[in-house]
Every structure is written in structure tokens, then in C-alpha cells.
Amino acid sequence: MAKTPVRTRRSGSQLSREAIIEASLRIAARGSGDAFTVRRLGEELGADPTAIYRHFRDKDELLLSVADRVYGEVLESVPDGLGWKDRLRALADGSLRVGLKYPAVASITASRTTRRINEFRLVELILGAVTEAGLDGADAALYYRAVADALLAHVGQAAAYVLFAPDVRAGDESSWRREYRTVDPERFPRITRLSTELADVSPAPVYAVQVEALIAAIEARAAARADVGPAEN
């Protein structure tokens, strides 16, 4: 009778940084929140968990390396040849789509700085958009941060939410049609008046409104700079 093949455990010398990053992404894409535990990675790679530390100083270095790989995937989603507004819209769409593909990565790294090549490329992309719109100097830096932080915040929040247990999400989502419709109308008249509309709001149009508000703010600041003139900016 043939024996079932045994999956041997590989040593650190048989692994690579690339293989470890890819394993982390596979785990994250399955919606698992433990993509960065050495035990889970060891199981995924068929390796001694401690072998990972031969390639990464610690879990934080691995996390930032994986996050930067995800940023690379976001960049690939932005087509060439778009005007600055459409580049920002495409960046927003790609950021959310990729963030929800790897929720464990996006939720953890929303407030981090990877200090790696794909993050630099993202910063360059957004700065290119705001300077094309007509901003420069301190304004360009400020509105770059406004765009980047808003996208990271929304994507990070959305990614964290999908990692919650289904019953937790169901309870939160149903609250708009239950608890918010039963509040005291004398204490909360505006909630009472708009309870149906509040219940009908979904995340997609909220994100679209946020992105368009950022674009409008950039346009308004660029127009104000143009009215003042370069000598007074």
C-alpha cells in the first residue's frame, strides 16, 4: 500500500523573503487575522516557524514588507494616462478593492509608514496629482496628506470590519433599522426624522462622497492660489 507523502519542514536556508511574503498574502487573502504569526506562517510554509527570523528582523519588518507589496498591487490598479482627478479616483477604488482582498494587512497598516519603494511610489503619485491640479509647496504637502490619510482611514476601517464575526457585523448593520428607529423622538428629533434615510446609506456612496470632497477641496485651494498670484502664495 502506497504511503501518503509527508510534508517535510524546510529550514530557513530553503526559504526566501519572497516566499514568506507570498505566504503571508495567501493567509491574509483567506480572511485570516493571523497572517503575521510565526506559527501560522510556519504551517503555511511547511517550515520551522523560527526560520522566518533568518529573513526578517522581527514580525514588524515582515508586516511592513507585506504592506508594501500590497501597495504595489494598488499601484498596478491605476491605469496610465489619466488626468489628476481620475488618478485619485482610480487610486481610491484600487485601495479599497485591494484592502478588502487582504483585510488583515490593510487593517493593521492603515496607521503605519512602510518606508519602502511602493509607498514612495504612492506618495509620488498623489503629489503628482495635487501639483497637476495647481498646488505646490506647503499646500501640496498638506493636501497629499489629506488624500493619503483619508484613503488609509476608510480602507483600514472597512478592512477591520470584515474581520469581525458575522453576527457582530449583522448586529451593527441592523441597528440602523432597529435601535435608531426606536430612539426618543423628543431627545433625538433629527435622527427620528431621517431614520429611513440613515438606514439606506451604504459604504460605497459614502466613500465616493469623501473622494469627491477631497477633489473639490484641492480644486478650491488651487483656484484660490491662482487668484492670489504667485508673489502672494
Same-domain status, 127 and 37? yes
Nearest to 198 by CA among 172, 171, 179, 180: 180
Residue 101 maps to a domain: yes
Residue 4 maps to a domain: no
Residue 132 maps to a domain: yes
Torsion of the alpha carbons at 123, 117, 35 and 152, rounded to the nearest 10: 0
Residue 87 domain boundaries: 17-163+202-227
What is the mean predicted confidence (pLDDT) over 204-233?
90
What is the pLDDT, as a whole number, of residue 227? Answer: 85
| pLDDT tens digit sequence for 64-86 | 999 999 999 999 999 999 999 99
Residue 189 maps to a domain: yes
Question: If you average pLDDT over every residue of the chain, what do you get?
Answer: 92
Same-domain status, 133 and 24? yes
What is the pLDDT, as a whole number, of residue 1? Answer: 44
Same-domain status, 91 and 120? yes
Same-domain status, 174 and 221? no
129 pLDDT higher than 80? yes
Same-domain status, 170 and 108? no
Same-domain status, 74 and 107? yes
Q: Give 44's pLDDT tier (boundaries 50, 70, 90).
A: very high
Nearest to 11 by CA among 50, 60, 66: 50
What total number of domains does the chain contain? 2
Residue found under cell 426606536: 182
155 pLDDT higher than 60? yes
Same-domain status, 38 and 141? yes
What is the pLDDT, as a whole number, of residue 228? Answer: 79
Residue 185 maps to a domain: yes
**Would you give the distance in Å from CA 215 to the centre of its chain?**
19
Residue 119 maps to a domain: yes
Same-domain status, 194 and 144? no
Residue 143 maps to a domain: yes
Same-domain status, 91 and 196? no
Same-domain status, 38 and 109? yes
Where does residue 137 fall: left (phi above 0), alpha (psi -120 to 50 degrees), or beta otherwise? left
Same-domain status, 68 and 107? yes
pTM of the model: 0.89
Using CA atoms, how far apart are residues 177 and 194, in angstroms rounded to an integer?
11
CATH number at residue 141: 1.10.357.10
> Rounded to whole angstroms, what are the CA distances from 81 to 62, 85, 122, 133?
33, 12, 16, 15
| pLDDT tens digit sequence for 88-98 | 999 999 999 99
Does residue 55 or residue 9 have the better pLDDT? 55
What is the mean predicted confidence (pLDDT) over 222-229?
88
Residue 9 maps to a domain: no
Torsion of the alpha carbons at 79, 64, 155 and 133, rounded to the nearest 10: -50
8 pLDDT higher than 50? no
Same-domain status, 76 and 28? yes
177 pLDDT higher than 80? yes
Using CA atoms, how far apart are residues 24 and 17, in angstroms rounded to an integer?
11
DSSP 58-114: SHHHHHHHHHHHHHHHHHHTS-TT--HHHHHHHHHHHHHHHHHHSHHHHHHHTT---
| pLDDT tens digit sequence for 185-209 | 999 999 999 999 999 999 999 999 9
